[in-house]
Structure formats: C-alpha cells, structure tokens
DNA sequence: CCGTTTCTTTGATCTAGAGCAAATAATCAG
DNA sequence: CTGATTATTTGCTCTAGATCAAAGAAACGG
C-alpha cells in the first residue's frame, strides 16, 4: 500500500511556495518532523468523514479531492500537484476530513501529524502564513466556481475545467498540452456538474474543430487560446 | 454615510466565538485598536476589486457579500450577521477584496486596519485562531454549495437557501421564523443560480401548502421541518 | 392623492441538456 | 488470444426550467 522513506531531500522543496521566505535550517526542521511515503495510483490519502490526523505535502504525483453526496453522486472538488499541501484540516479547526483524497498516479508525499501544526505556528510562523495563503487561494477558487456554476452554461464550464487542468497538471508536448494523468469524460462531468454524455459530445465537437485531441482517458489541448475564448463565452 | 463611534463596549462581544477562550484584557486591547462605525442600509463596506485596507466585525445588522461577473450577472455569495468577521483579505494574503459587501439594514461594525492582523498574530494568537476557524467554516460551506449546485435541482437549492437564511438571519415570531431583512425573489435567485420567476413559482406553491408566508421582500417560514424535507429531496 | 418605480405573479413558449438505449472501442485478466 | 470489463460515442426523447410577455400590487416621491 504505502512505503516509508528514510529521508527527505530538502532540495526537492526549495522552490515550493510553501517554503517561500524561509531559511534552509527551518525547512530542514519542518521536513524532519514529517514522514515521506509512497502511495500507489488509486490509493486513498484519507476518506471523507475520517478523523483528521495528518496534513500532507505532495512531492511527486497528482491527486484528486472529491465529495460524495448521500445519494451517491460524486463531485470532484480539486486536483493537487507537486508542491501543494492538502488535508489541512487543523488549519481550519476541522476534526474530520470533509472530502476524499485519491492518488491519480503513483505519488510521493510528506505527511505530518496534526500536532505539528500548532508547533509550527510558534516555531515557523512563516510556514503557517504560506500555508494559509494557499488556503485563501482555494477559498477564492471555490467562490469562482460557485459563480461559474450559477451563471455559465455547460460548454463554458467544461472549457474552464479543461483549462484549469492544463494549467495545474499539464505537460507540454510537440503538439500542445497534455493532461498528465488519466481523466475520463465522467471525471470532467463530475468537475462541472454535467453528464459524461454531454462532455463526450463537446469533446467530439472540439476535436473535429482541431481544438483538442482526445482518447480514452486522455486529453491533449492543441489550441489553448481558442479554448480560452470558449471559456469566456466566445 | 458613516459615523465614527467613540468607544466600543466589550460586553457586546464577549459571547462572540471570535473572542472565545480569551481574557477580558486581550479583548479590550483588540477592540481598542479598532474603530466602530455606523453604516446605513445600502452602504457598501467595500467593493469587489478595491484594495483591501481593513477587516471588519459586525456588531449589529446584516450584510450580503456578492460577486458580479464581467457580463453583469450578480451572485450573492453569503450573508453575515452579528458577531461575524468579514473582509478578512489579509488572513488569506489577498491584496484586493474579491467581492462587494453591502449593508442590508442599518449596521454597526468595528473595523481594523490590515496591519493589525499581523500584530494580533503575535500578540493575540487565539484571536487569529478563532478567525481562521471561521474562514475554514466558510471554505467548507462554499464547497457544500458547489456540491449542491452540481447535484441538486432548483427546488432543493432554493429550499436550502431559505433554510440557511432562517438559520443565519431568522427571528422567531408567533407563527414561525421571519428573515430579518428585506429579501426579494431576485435575491433568492442570485443565491441559487436560478431566475426570479422560478423562485416566485416555488414560493407560490409552498405558500399554498402552508409551508411559508411570503410578501413583498418578506419571507416567513411556518413549517421549517417540511422545508428541510424538501431540501433533502423529499 | 396620483403617477412612477419597483416588485411579484402567472401564463405561454422554447431549449439546453438530462436520461435512456444501444453500438463501438480500448484495456485487462487469465 | 479471448471473453469480460470499462470507456466512449451517438441517436432519440423528454422535461426542468429559462425566456418572453403582460398584468397586478406595493411602496415611494412630491
């Protein structure tokens, strides 16, 4: 399931915004308090409603965070990539994780016991500030998404979702930008509040316009600019 | 427009969660750093995109926070009542307010210059912790709303919105629970991503079932339990 | 009190997109 | 290699709810 690593190399994280404006000594101290682990594709970091015991930093890989309703519908809240913290329940005084976090590819993360949050608050306030900055960005993004859901129709929302994926998790290829992990039509539907059928139809239309190239769980954006126009409503 | 008050009585805020687990001395010190002001119904506390200069605590009254899209559509993000902090841009390292805050009735607020955030972080960390707890609750509520928008149809969403209003801003009457400020059908539409027409139709149906009593910009819920059932989808 | 403005209601269309169904097409397990 | 499983596409139908239209009802300004 998951393997403990003996040691974390600080050079992996020096460019990460989470450690901005911090000296090497402080970074090393924080990393020493954490534990690095491998998670395989499909593994869960935590489940919705689990008691929150740790917070995490992604060193390598991608994950998705999703919520499931009582009726069983799944909504994908967000994706996280390298250098991002997640599962920060202690930061916002939540006793349980509000969602499920799942590895989309094989991952390496650092995880800390919750108690270190308060510890770092005193010892390394800059770290906490950096972490809250990213919490703030997520709050802002959530609210953007509410506006989107309230005012835009499906085509624009799907265009936005694909753009977000390319920005957060895209890798350049000869032809365009490829999403770096498997994404199904169903996944896109769960990110935008629509159905896989509608997503499939949109992708077919966009592909035939040369805007993107799609395959089974594969999305490659060829003309990002045109996609951006669609996201803005022409 | 707004009038400065000379002094703030600490007894106004001792029951407020923002000052939980704090001694009177600390509370008084924090209040002394702030300025109390009146805002009249309709006044703005700040506008979307304004440079963030202050953060606020509502002492008396209600406000709504809304975002406006490039196309001019308005989305009501949230309401705030007595004892809640708002406009906490410094908390999440945002330079500008992401939305507009408008007084729904005559209000009294305390406002602090942004620099005091960092000051309190050192001097009164418990205050900051309490504030972050409410930021966390807002993040959680935003995500709930995304799930709602993604999976529920209009009737349930409107039922949810009315329930939230009764919880946050309701006052008990002989017959039921009255929303304590004017709310139009258009307002409810902007909280739920629908149109005033659909809201009007729903309200008509619910009124004739005896579930609520409505008037011009007035909502009084008579049978909260039935409304809750509607919100859960029967 | 009266005209104006701002809300609300209700009816009559119209349509984006859900839901259903069934046929491909990839991938996987053995 | 082969059948089973999981994704995807595409056509057809149907409906929730938007949009359009127009008529009441409150509140407001002078």
Contact B90, B55 (CB under 8 A): yes
> Distance of alpha carbon B133 from its chain centroid, rounded?
16
| Residue A13 φ then ψ, to 5° | -120, 5
Interacting residues of A122 by C-beta distance below 8 A, sequence separation 6+: none
Paired strand residues for B111: B35, B56
User: Residues B175-185: what's their mean pLDDT?
Assistant: 96
b/e code A203-215 from CB counts within 10 Å (16+ = b): beebeeeebbbbe
d(CA B8, CA A32): 46
Assess whether B48 (CB) lies less than 7 A from strand C.
no
B138 at the A interface (CB within 8 A)? yes
- What is the CA angle B183-B186-B192, rounded to 5? 95
d(CA A57, CA A112): 9
Assess whether A196 (CB) lies less than 7 A from strand C.
no
B193 at the A interface (CB within 8 A)? yes
Contact A35, A113 (CB under 8 A): no
Assess whether B195 (CB) lies less than 7 A from strand D.
yes
Contact B75, A146 (CB under 8 A): yes
Query: Scanning every residue of chain A, which has its alpha carbon at the shortest distance from the alpha carbon of B92?
Result: A136
Residue by residue, DSSP assigns A164-206 as: HHHHHHEEE-SSSEEESS---HHHHHHHHTS-HHHHHHHHHHH
Assess whether B217 (CB) lies less than 7 A from strand C.
yes
Cα dihedral angle (A162, A163, A168, A171), rounded to 10 degrees? Answer: 90
Structure tokens at A5: 């690593």
User: Residues A67-88: what's their mean pLDDT?
Assistant: 96
Query: Scanning every residue of chain A, which has its alpha carbon at the shortest distance from the alpha carbon of B131?
Result: A92
Q: Which of A150, A157, A198 to mutate to test the interface with B (most CBs of B within 10 A)?
A: A150
Nearest nucleotide relative to A153: CA against C1': C16
Taking Cα atoms as reference points, which of A32, A51, A127, A121 lies closest to residue A85?
A: A127
Interacting residues of B170 by C-beta distance below 8 A, sequence separation 6+: B177, B178, B179, B180, B221
Query: Scanning every residue of chain A, which has its alpha carbon at the shortest distance from the alpha carbon of B71?
Result: A151
**Do A67 and B135 count as a contact with CB atoms less than 8 A apart?**
no
Residues of B in contact with A92 (CB under 8 A): 132-133, 135-137, 139-140
Q: Which domains does chain A have, with CATH numbers?
A: 4-149 (2.60.120.10), 152-231 (1.10.10.10)
Find where tokens 């200069």 sit: B53
Structure tokens at B212: 């609520």
Q: How far is the CA of B168 from the C1' of C4 (A)?
A: 35
Taking Cα atoms as reference points, which of A185, A184, A182, A194 lies closest to residue A157?
A: A194
Q: Given pLDDT bands bounded at 50, 70 and 90, which one contains residue A7? A: low
Assess whether B185 (CB) lies less than 7 A from strand C.
yes
Give the number of A-B residue pairs with CB atoms closer than 8 Å.
Answer: 102
B93 at the A interface (CB within 8 A)? yes
pLDDT at A178 over 80: yes
What pLDDT, on the 0 to 100 scale, is given for residue B2?
A: 45
Tell me the pairing of strands A170-172 and A177-179.
antiparallel
With pLDDT > 90 as the criterion, what percentage of chain A qualifies? 88
What pLDDT, on the 0 to 100 scale, is given for residue B6?
A: 55
* Exposed / middle / buried, residue B208 (Cβ in 10 Å: 0-12, 13-18, 19+): exposed
Mean pLDDT of chain B: 93
The side-by-side arrangement of strands in the sheet containing B35-39 is B4-5, B35-39, B107-113, B54-60, B85-86
A20 at the B interface (CB within 8 A)? no
**Tens of pLDDT, residues B53-83:** 999 999 999 999 999 999 999 999 999 999 9
Residues of B in contact with A129 (CB under 8 A): 93
Q: Given pLDDT bands bounded at 50, 70 and 90, which one contains residue A1? A: very low
**Do B147 and A93 count as a contact with CB atoms less than 8 A apart?**
no
pLDDT at B101 over 90: yes
Residue by residue, DSSP assigns B157-200 as: HHHHHHHHHHHHHEEE-SSSEEESS---HHHHHHHHTS-HHHHH
pLDDT at B88 over 60: yes
Contact A111, A56 (CB under 8 A): yes
Length of chain A: 234
A149 at the B interface (CB within 8 A)? yes
Paired strand residues for B60: B108
User: Residues B152-179: what's their mean pLDDT?
Assistant: 96
**Tens of pLDDT, residues B182-215:** 999 999 999 999 999 999 999 999 999 999 999 9
pLDDT at A231 over 80: yes
Kindly report the number of other CB atoms within 10 A of residue B149's CB atom: 18
């Amino acid at each position: 399931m998951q393997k403990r690593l003996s040691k974390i190399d600080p050079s992996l994280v020096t460019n990460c915004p989470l450690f901005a404006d911090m000296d090497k000594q402080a970074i090393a101290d924080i990393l020493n308090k954490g534990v690095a682990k491998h998670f395989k594709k499909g593994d869960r970091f935590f489940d919705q409603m689990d008691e929150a015991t740790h917070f995490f930093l992604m060193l390598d890989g991608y994950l998705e965070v999703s919520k499931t309703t009582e009726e069983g519908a799944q909504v994908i809240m967000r994706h996280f990539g390298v250098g991002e913290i997640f599962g920060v329940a202690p930061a916002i005084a939540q006793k349980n994780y509000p969602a499920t976090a799942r590895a989309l590819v094989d991952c390496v993360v650092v995880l800390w016991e919750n108690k270190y949050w308060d510890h770092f608050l005193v010892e390394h306030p800059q770290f906490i500030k950096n972490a809250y900055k990213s919490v703030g960005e997520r709050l802002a993004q959530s609210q953007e998404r509410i506006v989107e859901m309230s005012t835009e129709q499906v085509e624009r929302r799907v265009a936005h979702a694909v753009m977000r994926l390319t920005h957060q998790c895209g890798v350049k290829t000869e032809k365009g930008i490829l999403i770096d992990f498997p994404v199904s039509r169903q996944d896109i539907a769960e990110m935008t509040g629509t159905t896989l059928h509608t997503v499939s139809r949109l992708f077919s239309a966009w592909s035939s316009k040369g805007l993107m190239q799609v395959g089974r769980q594969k999305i490659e954006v060829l003309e990002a600019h045109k996609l951006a126009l669609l996201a803005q409503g022409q």
